């Protein structure tokens, strides 16, 4: 039986992104450059780096823009082909839901099958590049414009699928903030920091920087971006339905994407609050007096406040100290307001709701640390690294059996967010089994850190 064009394209892609760049004709809807730029030697050193270089050359989309978009959506993780909460697939979050159809657009533009676009990293990146290029063409970007990342703002905002201009701006600003700050190497892919001046066009007036819209009237630090009225129930709590619980969720998607999904009438889901991973920013989407549809159990919905956290349950890198601390401050505020005991019988995960089919917040959520923050143990310690070597290894967990994820130089002053018991180590300051967390999944032995205390630091939480 003859092999279809789409099947040949899929096989070429699965065999390597560079083969796709050089071996396929351009889709009619998108006009790539006449000669595709070759991937650099550095890019070809890793398959994902090759995929980004290939897609960028194929569709004349800035490579760093593609990487920043993927990092904002997924931390460049395919999540084993499982969809996000809003029906997005892969590291580029190609979406198929009633309102957003970037997966379908990618299939049409590339000629690749949706199974490949959902599950193969190179196909996923290529599909996103094709969609972005089609948006750029529709916006009238010529070749000179396409070479400048600042001209792609409208295409990035459109890719996010938000209907609310303020949320669309939040989505695009997140990508440009990553371009400005740079992205550390993930799976062999990195982006160098650069100055950016995005051309926001009409979205310049959508909201002031750092905000989504007006501020919440329930919780001062929160921005307000209301969910669709199709996704929650108007009520008059707590008199009619006393609030007894706080339910902790993980979005299985990005911050802006989740807020946008709550605004989609077809979502049939919402939460009261959503937190951002990078800095702990928070947005409220449902008033506390109203019933958000978050727990999958009507009784618990009527008696709880639902709090979402940006990220995926299988990747602990999303669960930053900034997000833990900001979320715990809200939970503490809600518990004090409604008389909710600050214990694990009343502050629960989605997985603990009777009849729950979800597993969030998952095994990577640090309940010990979170509950101490909720209960008011919120101190941040500090110390100075002292090591006979020029640098001290930083590990992914509290022990010498954990992977080395970096180093800190001798004499460095570090912040200590929490402390854990782990492997016993003998160092500059004697023998200790205490490990200090100095960042997300970053630990150093206390035997090499001068904190001013012999043992645990008062008012610093345990990890």
Per-residue model confidence (pLDDT) at position 92:
98
Q: How far is the C-alpha of 324 from the C-alpha of 329, rounded, in Å?
A: 9
Helix axis angle for 47-59 and 63-74, nearest 10°, is 120
DSSP string, 266-319: T-----SEEE-TTT--EEE-S-TTSEES-SS-HHHHHTEEEEEESB-TT-GGG-
**Alpha carbon of 132 to those of 1, 57, 160, 418: distances in Å?**
35, 13, 11, 42
The answer on pLDDT for 42 being more than 90 is no
DSSP string, 119-163: H-HHHHHHHHHHHHHHHHHHTT--HHHHTSGGGGHHHHHHHHT-S
Per-residue model confidence (pLDDT) at position 237:
83
Residue-wise burial string across 154-189, b where 16 or more C-beta atoms lie within 10 A, e elsewhere:
bbbbbbbbbebebbbbbbbbbbbbbbeeebeebbbb
* pLDDT tens profile 420-463: 999 999 999 999 999 999 999 999 999 999 999 999 999 999 99
The answer on pLDDT for 240 being more than 90 is no
Residue-wise burial string across 57-83, b where 16 or more C-beta atoms lie within 10 A, e elsewhere:
bbbbbbbbbbbbbbbbbbbbbbbeeeb
Burial of 145 (0-12, 13-18, 19+ CB in 10 A): middle
The answer on pLDDT for 315 being more than 70 is yes
More confident residue, 305 or 24: 305
Q: Is the dihedral of CA 121, 127, 129, 131 positive or negative?
A: negative
Q: How confident is the model at residue 20 (pLDDT cuts 50, 70, 90)?
A: very low
Per-residue model confidence (pLDDT) at position 22:
35
Per-residue model confidence (pLDDT) at position 213:
67
The answer on pLDDT for 8 being more than 70 is no
* pLDDT tens profile 182-219: 999 888 999 999 999 999 999 998 875 556 667 888 99
From 42-51, 220-229, 268-277, 444-453, the region with the lowest mean pLDDT: 42-51
Q: How far is the C-alpha of 282 from the C-alpha of 273, rounded, in Å?
A: 7
* pLDDT tens profile 253-310: 999 999 999 999 999 999 999 999 999 999 999 999 999 999 999 999 999 999 999 9
Per-residue model confidence (pLDDT) at position 361:
98
CATH 1.10.510.10 fits 381-450, yes or no: no
**223-374 and 381-450 share one CATH topology?**
no
pLDDT above 70 coverage of the chain, percent = 89
Taking the whole predicted model, whether its pTM rises above 0.75 is answered as yes
* pLDDT tens profile 397-412: 999 999 999 999 999 9
**Domain residue spans in the chain?**
5-185, 223-374, 381-450
Q: How confident is the model at residue 40 (pLDDT cuts 50, 70, 90)?
A: very low
Q: Could you tell me whether strands 430-439 and 418-427 are parallel, antiparallel, or unpaired per DSSP bridges?
A: antiparallel
Domain 5-185 fold: Lysozyme (1.10.530)
Q: Are 348 and 305 in contact (CB under 8 A)?
A: no
In 3D space, the residue among 384, 381, 386 whose CA is nearest the CA of residue 420 turns out to be: 381
How many of the other CB atoms lie within 10 Å of CB of 39? 21
In 3D space, the residue among 34, 27, 47 whose CA is nearest the CA of residue 107 turns out to be: 27
Per-residue model confidence (pLDDT) at position 133:
98
Q: How far is the C-alpha of 45 from the C-alpha of 287, rounded, in Å?
A: 50
pLDDT above 90 coverage of the chain, percent = 85
How many of the other CB atoms lie within 10 Å of CB of 253? 26
**What mean pLDDT do residues 108-132 have?**
98
Per-residue model confidence (pLDDT) at position 421:
97
**Alpha carbon of 230 to those of 118, 293, 454: distances in Å?**
29, 10, 56
**What mean pLDDT do residues 352-359 have?**
94
- Of the candidate CATH numbers 3.40.720.10, 2.30.30.180, 1.10.3720.10, 3.40.80.10, the domain formed by 223-374 belongs to 3.40.80.10
Q: How far is the C-alpha of 423 from the C-alpha of 426, rounded, in Å?
A: 10
């Amino acid at each position: 039986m003859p092999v279809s064009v789409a099947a040949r394209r899929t096989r070429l892609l699965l065999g390597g992104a560079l083969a796709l760049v050089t071996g396929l004709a351009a889709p009619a809807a998108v006009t790539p450059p006449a000669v595709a730029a070759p991937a650099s030697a550095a890019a070809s050193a890793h398959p994902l780096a090759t995929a980004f270089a290939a897609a960028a050359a194929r569709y004349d989309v800035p490579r760093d823009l593609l990487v920043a978009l993927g990092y904002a959506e997924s931390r460049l993780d395919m999540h084993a082909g499982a969809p996000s909460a809003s029906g997005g697939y892969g590291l580029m979050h190609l979406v198929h839901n009633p309102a957003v159809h970037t997966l379908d657009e990618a299939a049409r533009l590339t000629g690749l099958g949706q199974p490949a676009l959902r599950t193969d990293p190179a196909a996923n990146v290529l599909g996103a590049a094709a969609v972005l290029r089609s948006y750029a063409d529709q916006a009238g970007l010529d070749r000179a414009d396409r070479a400048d990342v600042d001209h792609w703002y409208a295409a990035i905002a459109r890719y996010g699928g938000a209907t609310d201009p303020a949320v669309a701006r939040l989505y695009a600003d997140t990508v440009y903030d990553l371009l400005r700050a740079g992205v550390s190497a993930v799976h062999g892919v990195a982006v160098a920091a650069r100055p950016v001046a995005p051309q926001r066009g009409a979205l310049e007036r959508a909201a002031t920087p750092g905000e989504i819209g007006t501020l919440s009237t329930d919780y001062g630090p929160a921005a307000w971006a209301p969910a669709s009225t199709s996704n929650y129930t108007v009520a008059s709590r707590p008199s009619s339905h006393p609030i007894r619980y706080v339910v902790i969720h993980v979005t299985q998607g990005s911050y802006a994407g989740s807020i946008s999904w709550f605004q989609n009438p077809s979502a049939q889901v919402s939460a009261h609050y959503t937190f951002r991973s990078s800095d702990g920013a928070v947005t409220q989407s449902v008033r506390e007096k109203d019933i958000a549809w978050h727990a999958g159990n009507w009784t618990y919905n009527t008696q709880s406040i639902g709090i979402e956290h940006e990220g995926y349950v299988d990747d602990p890198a999303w669960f930053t100290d900034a997000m833990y601390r900001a979320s715990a401050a809200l939970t503490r505020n809600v518990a004090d307001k409604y008389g909710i005991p600050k214990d694990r019988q009343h502050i629960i995960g989605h997985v603990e709701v009777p009849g729950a089919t979800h597993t969030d917040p998952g095994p990577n959520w640090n309940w010990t640390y979170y509950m101490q923050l909720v209960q008011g143990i919120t101190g941040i310690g500090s110390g100075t690294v002292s090591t006979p070597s020029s640098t001290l290894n930083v590990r992914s967990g509290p022990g010498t059996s954990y992977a080395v994820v970096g180093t800190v130089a001798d004499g460095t002053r570090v912040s200590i967010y929490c402390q854990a018991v782990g492997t016993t180590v003998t160092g500059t300051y004697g023998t200790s089994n205490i490990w200090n967390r100095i960042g997300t999944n970053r630990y150093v032995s206390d035997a090499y850190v001068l904190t001013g205390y012999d043992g645990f630091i008062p008012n610093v939480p345990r990890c």
